[in-house]
Amino acid sequence: MTTRLPLAALFAVLLAGTASAQMARTEPQEAPGKDAAGKQVPLSRGEVQLSFAPVVKRAAPSVVNVYASHVDKRSSARTSAMEEFMRRFFGEPDGGRGPRGERAQKSLGSGVLVDGSGLVITNAHVIDNMNEVRVALADRREFEASIVLRDSRTDLAVIRIKEPPAGLNPMPFGDPDRLEVGDFVMAIGNPFGVGQTVTQGIVSALARTQVGSADYQYFIQTDAAINPGNSGGALVNLQGQLVGINTAIYSQSGGSHGIGFAIPVSMVKAVVTAAKDGLTVVRRPWLGARVQNVTPDIADSMGLDHPTGVLVASLQAKSPAEEAGLKRGDLILSVDGQVVDDPEAFGYRFALKGITGQTKLGILRGTARQTVVVKLGTAPETRPRETLKVRSRSPFLGASFVNTSPAVAEDLQVDFTVDGVAVESVDENSFAARAGLLKGDVVVAVNGTPIAATKDLDRVMRTMPGSWEIVINRGGEVMTSVFAG
């Protein structure tokens, strides 16, 4: 049976066909599955059977194994009673010491050659507390290495092969702004110490900020399998370029479940540049403002259709933020045009700006969008730190203290609202740890005596009081604790 179209409908179909033909003649069409950046999904069985081997051959020689150890040399005369007890009753030879009373800890990880002079980037936690490092190349040649720089805030470290051989293959850096969710990537490292291994996957997400393995949280998430020993290894793109340093996995059992995280190459470049400049620490720009998340309620009150940016909660006097004209309540939306959605993303973007020149912050003040120019520089150390390591019996035993300043606040990643003495570190299982002291606490007073500097705290401790009344400022909250002498 033949269906007859009404005359009007037939006329519409003819017009549509004519228009389609005209568009086909005048508008260039992209290949199926291909985007404007030239990236394309496989279109045939032959393309699916393509191999990643050429990429691996380019990238694998740049990935090394890192063997680190901490050797604590002690003489037999200094053997403690506990070590003697362990030796006699649990059979540890020499109380757990090696030859000549040496006690050793070991660590295994991966690294990436980033310079022909023998510079290697790895994770800081791979060499944490280690004093002896060896590097094994992909061809199994081993070399002694020295530690150039450790940056716990990014969980990155740079080591240098002491006598680098000729013909090293440093890995080129990729363009971090071209990496997209869905791109193929490969993780190359030494999982479980079995030897160099390559796993393949895709970029699952970008700008992950709730991982918890470093202060600057802005990670690439990938489903390429990352296992213990992969730490410090390379995440590479299909051009054989470094796009990230593998650093963490999300796992409840210790195995890989397809959720791995890598530090973006932009942060890696900043740390490597510091090492090449001869620095032993990474110096970062100081803003002098505390920022906070934008909640849905705050976004609604500011007329935003969704939460974005970071809210300026407070400003330090004479800081770059104050001098640039930032005000409490301003909403920072971008750093040099790069959108920021939370404090972690803002901290990451701002840290990459370096310590010279200036940067532009896009802000929302009320209903008006503005741009402020912030001068870049390091936080000032307005007074000497005068570090005090407490070794006498007191609630402070095992803690280190420094005088507060903008530089100390920046190092400890806290916002000091008062002058005093800050807790720089607390030894694990020490008296200070059991007393509840935390890194970043500010001791305001002890037994009614104001503590303005470490020398004041030292003077009070020398009196050996029978009890301790300690006043601490923790993030603006003042707490008082009493301890027996």
State how far the Cα of 123 lies from the Cα of 248, in Å rounded to an integer: 10
Identity (one letter) of the amino acid at 157?
A
State how far the Cα of 225 lies from the Cα of 191, in Å rounded to an integer: 10
> Computed from CA positions of residues 109, 114, 119, 121, in that sequence, does the dihedral angle turn out positive or negative?
negative
Tokens of 473: 């400022």
State how far the Cα of 229 lies from the Cα of 67, in Å rounded to an integer: 10
Direct distance between the N- and C-terminal alpha carbons of the chain, in angstroms, rounded to an integer? 105
State how far the Cα of 268 lies from the Cα of 170, in Å rounded to an integer: 14
The radius of gyration of the chain from alpha carbons, rounded to an integer in Å, stands at 29
Going from the C-alpha of 153 to that of each of 109, 157, 222, 230, 347, the distances in angstroms are 19, 10, 22, 19, 12
Measured from the Cβ of residue 400, the count of other Cβ atoms closer than 10 Å reads: 18
Contact (Cβ atoms closer than 8 angstroms) between residue 284 and residue 378: yes
Q: In 316-367, where do the E strands start and end?
A: 331-335, 338-339, 358-365
Contact (Cβ atoms closer than 8 angstroms) between residue 57 and residue 171: no
Q: What pairs with residue 242 in β-bridges?
A: 173, 236
Work out the angle at residue 102's Cα, subtended by the Cα atoms of residues 98 and 106, and round it to the nearest 5 degrees: 85
State how far the Cα of 56 lies from the Cα of 113, in Å rounded to an integer: 15
Identity (one letter) of the amino acid at 315?
L
> Computed from CA positions of residues 263, 264, 266, 272, in that sequence, does the dihedral angle turn out positive or negative?
positive
State how far the Cα of 454 lies from the Cα of 240, in Å rounded to an integer: 52
φ/ψ of residue 13, rounded to 5: -65, -45
SS3 460: helix
Contact (Cβ atoms closer than 8 angstroms) between residue 236 and residue 244: no
Taking CB atoms within 8 Å and a gap of at least 24, the contacts of 205-209 are: 205/181, 206/179, 206/180, 206/181, 207/341, 207/345, 208/261, 209/342, 209/344, 209/345
State how far the Cα of 79 lies from the Cα of 248, in Å rounded to an integer: 38
Work out the angle at residue 343's Cα, subtended by the Cα atoms of residues 337 and 349, and round it to the nearest 5 degrees: 40
Instruction: List the catalytic residues.
Output: 125, 155, 231
